[in-house]
Amino acid sequence: MLVTAEPVTREPTTGEPVIEVSGLHVRAGASHILRGIDLTVRGGEVVALLGANGSGKSTLVKTLVGVNPPSAGTVRVLGGSLPGSAGASVGSTRTNRSAVPWERVGYVPQRVGARSGVPSTAEEVVASGLLHGRRLRLPRGWRSEVRAALEQVDLADRAHDALHVLSGGQQQRVYIARALVRRPELLILDEPVAGVDRPSQEAFAATMRSLVDDGLTVLVVLHELGELTPLVTRAVVLRHGRVVHDGAPPAARGDHDAVGHLHVHPHDDEEQRRAPLAELEVQP
């Protein structure tokens, strides 16, 4: 697909199923978090997962990437299946999970504060995205791959800065680069723009646009569609652990995100530096 300045109406794609979830239940202790989720995401789709806090969005995403074990139901990611039964032991979880080609999946977890007791650079954090189940050591030429991923999020010049000195938005972009460095076919993001200022959101949307145009499939947890509105092909809304809407993205509330809204920024020079953003900003 060509990158054009025209607003593209993204028609529903009918690619191969990339994520197939059926009858998924997830329990954590006494609480029943997901109550029978059915969801299919096909190649090339950009699916937004919406819902209030506590509706199960993050749990669903964590189950898809193998962090939370499903209690019942089946989950298939890129043709490989997660174990469907409850009480699967650690060992069997691992052998079954190896059926999913994790090296083709990029995951951006929800941002939490500083996790690490030892400072690490953006380059080191992004490099960890090159590892997967069958590759426990960094491959030859990892530095150039890391640099390319940091360039995608416009942070190549901060490669050797410690993560903790970067701003929240920049840290988030580092974690996105960590997911992109393995050149995934499927990108799963959990609230990538929560607490991120608008310029960073716009930069993020521009990055996502070029990746989607290259055929990336995206499942993204969001609170509001925001800058991603033009990209999203389908919205799935969760409420109390069930899918209550699966179809066209809901209309945005308020006029801020509405079509035809023109952003006026005083930073003209900076806007020009971020040239690709113009495509997103002006919507006739």
Partner 1 sequence: MIDMLTDPFMQRALLAALLVGVSAPVVGTYLVQRRLALLGDGIGHVALTGVALGWLVGAAMGLREDDVLAVPGAVVAAVAGSVLIEVVRRRGRTSGDLALAIMFYGGIAGGVLLIGLAGGTSGNLMQYLFGSISTVSGTDLVLTVVLSAVVLSVGIGLRAALFSVSHDEEFATASGLPVWALNIAVAVVAALTVTVAMRVVGLLLVSALMIVPVAVAQQLTHAFTRTMLTASVVGVVVCVTGLTITYWQNVSPGATIVVLAIAAYVVAVLARPLLTRRSPATDPHPDIPDDVEVATATGPGEKEVCA
Q: Which residues bind partner 1 (CB under 8 A)?
A: 62, 65-67, 90, 94, 97-98, 100, 102-103, 105, 107, 109, 115-121, 124-125, 127-134, 136-138, 160-162, 164-165, 167, 169-170, 178, 188, 197-200, 256, 263-267, 270
Minimal distance, residue 145 CB to partner 1, in Å: 13
Instruction: Identify which of residues 169 and 241 has a Cβ nearer to partner 1 in the complex.
Output: 169
Task: Name the residue type at position 144.
Answer: S
Alpha helices of the chain — where are they, by DSSP H? 57-64, 90-97, 122-127, 142-152, 168-180, 198-213, 268-273, 277-281
| Structure tokens given for 92 | 């069997």
Which residues share a beta bridge with 190? 221
Question: Which residue is associated with the tokens 């990538």?
Answer: 192
Q: Which is nearer to partner 1, 44 or 184 (CB)?
A: 184
Query: Minimum distance from CB of 49 to partner 1 (Å)?
Result: 16
Q: How far is the CB of 209 from partner 1 (least distance, A)?
A: 19
Minimum gap (Å) between residue 191 Cβ and partner 1: 14
- Coil, strand, or helix at residue 94? helix
Question: Kindly report the CA angle at 47 between 148 and 83, in degrees rounded to 5?
Answer: 90
Rounded CA-CA distance 163/146 in Å is 15
Nearer to partner 1, 160 or 253 (CB): 160
Question: Looking at beta carbons only, is 15 or 265 nearer to partner 1?
Answer: 265
Min CB(131)–partner 1 separation in Å: 6
